[in-house]
Amino acid sequence: MHFQAERKEIIQKRKKDWRVWWKMTRPHTLTASFVPVTLGTVMALEITDIHFLLFFAMLVASLLIQAATNMFNEYYDFKKGLDTEESVGIGGTIVRDGVHPKVVKNLAWTFVGISVLLGIYICASSSWWIALIGTISILVGYLYTGGPMPIAYTPFGELMSGLFMGINIILISYFIQAGTITTSSILVSIPVTILIGAINLSNNIRDLDGDKKSGRKTLAILVGRKRAINILAFLFAISYLWIIFLIIFQGFTPWLLLVLLSIPKPITAVKGFIGKTIPAEMMPAMKATAQTNTFFGLLLSIGFIFSYYF
């Protein structure tokens, strides 16, 4: 009996350790990498066959860079005393789960190193100009919370996350498959870019009070909670209207209207923020914001696939 109890305790500890490491990557945010890579690759189907090794290399590299960015965020928030055991959300692995700060930072750099190796393969198979873009992307990921003037402390967090995780990833994913960039690929990348910025904004709305005390100057702090929620709703609306615009005025396939099936998610997100001030109460709204980007991007990808084969 003693042996069985001890074995059960070891198994439970391993499961907990696995969850801690997985949680540290902030998995609910990783769709912000998965969706752009998928969409960029699917759009390239119109003019070329898919090179699946390149697709998987780009996907894994993007996920690792984002996970590394999340870990740098974890590390520097701890170093600056922003994370406590009472912090809401899946950040705070260092203070709540006892993971050593140096381990978190080293793991982040390990992920960066692996993504660089994948990037070399991608460049060798497409263009070495991507190395420059990838280097800038990694630098921005580090500077988001690291360096003397972290991007996360400024009103530009939404813009930078949208640009580097939206249009940047979509166009690279498209280019390594098709060997070119088209006006259509740029136009389609815009609403996803906006929605990724919206994920960042929703995070800043939730953390508004805590960020304000720590001296941050995020967009949500500068405009206030009510206006920030209005901006979030505006970003959602623009994203859906943009697709309708592409269909009516740019001749894109009506299959893209599939994205309208995801509309309940942004409505849930906006309603979930209205009247709330306690961070824990806003977690469902944050989740709905991330799901908006996920469902929007995947439905957009499905719409393009249907247009090619039906």
- Residue 131 makes CB contacts below 8 A (sequence gap 6+) with 119, 120, 123
* CA distances (Å), origin 77, targets 74, 95, 209, 230: 5, 10, 15, 28
241: containing domain: 21-309
Indicate the pLDDT class of residue 16, thresholds 50, 70 and 90. low
- Both tokens of 143, joined, read 């500077």
Expressed in angstroms, the distance from the first to the final Cα of the chain is 62
- Residue 305 makes CB contacts below 8 A (sequence gap 6+) with 42, 45
- The answer, yes or no, to whether residue 26 has pLDDT greater than 90, is no
Is the pLDDT higher at 46 or at 23? 46
Indicate the pLDDT class of residue 15, thresholds 50, 70 and 90. very low
**269 found inside a domain:** yes
- The answer, yes or no, to whether residue 76 has pLDDT greater than 70, is yes
**3 found inside a domain:** no
**2 found inside a domain:** no
Give residue 24's pLDDT. Answer: 67
Question: Which of 21-25, 44-48, 101-105, 185-189 has the weakest average pLDDT?
Answer: 21-25
The continuous run of DSSP H or E covering 253 comes out as none
**299 found inside a domain:** yes
**169 found inside a domain:** yes
Per the CB < 8 A criterion, the answer to whether 259 and 243 are in contact is: yes
How many residues are present in the chain?
310
Give residue 32's pLDDT. Answer: 82
- Residue range 237-290, pLDDT digits in tens: 999 999 999 999 999 999 999 999 999 999 999 999 999 999 999 999 999 999
DSSP one-letter code for 151? G
Across the chain, mean pLDDT equals 89
pTM: 0.89
**277 found inside a domain:** yes
Arithmetic mean of pLDDT, 117-121: 97
Give residue 44's pLDDT. Answer: 97
Per the CB < 8 A criterion, the answer to whether 269 and 202 are in contact is: yes
Give residue 13's pLDDT. Answer: 47
Give residue 220's pLDDT. Answer: 97
> Which SS3 state, helix, strand or coil, does residue 166 take?
helix
Arithmetic mean of pLDDT, 90-104: 71
Give percent above pLDDT 90 in the chain. 71
Number of domains in the chain: 1
Give residue 8's pLDDT. Answer: 47
Picking from 160, 199, 229, the residue whose alpha carbon sits closest to that of residue 295 is 199
Indicate the pLDDT class of residue 229, thresholds 50, 70 and 90. very high
Give residue 157's pLDDT. Answer: 95
Indicate the pLDDT class of residue 82, thresholds 50, 70 and 90. low
190: left (phi over 0), alpha (psi -120 to 50) or beta: alpha
Give residue 310's pLDDT. Answer: 87
- The answer, yes or no, to whether residue 6 has pLDDT greater than 50, is no
Give residue 210's pLDDT. Answer: 87
**12 found inside a domain:** no
**4 found inside a domain:** no
- Residue range 155-209, pLDDT digits in tens: 999 999 999 999 999 999 999 999 999 999 999 999 999 999 999 999 999 999 9
